Amino acid sequence: MGRGRQKAKQTKVARELKYFSPETNYRALEQELASRNHDPVDRRGVAALDTEDEPPEDYRRWLDDER
């Protein structure tokens, strides 16, 4: 008993995962989103750097090495 039974089990698990919809905790979601509003973060999740400011000390060392 090989591939047929294994595939059937995988299909069953995949179907359960596809249609599983847990209860959404909107209060926790609201708190998480509210806590992120004060951090300047771009869409990739990386802190947005102001290009007019000087780079941080760690980066200045690397920039000096390249020059």
Question: Residue 63 corresponds to which amino acid?
Answer: L
Dihedral-angle region of residue 29 (phi above 0 means left; psi in -120 to 50 means alpha; beta otherwise): alpha
Q: Residue 54 is part of which domain span?
A: 3-66
> Between residues 67 and 6, which one has the greater pLDDT?
6
Residue 20, token pair as written in the block: 């599983």
* pLDDT tens profile 4-34: 999 999 999 999 999 998 888 999 989 998 8
Average pLDDT of the chain is 76
> Between residues 67 and 21, which one has the greater pLDDT?
21
In which band, very low, low, confident or very high, does the pLDDT at 2 lie, cut at 50, 70 and 90? confident
Backbone angles phi, psi at 34, to 5 degrees: -65, -35
> Which residue in the block uniquely carries the two structure tokens 């179907």?
15
Total tally of structural domains belonging to the chain: 1
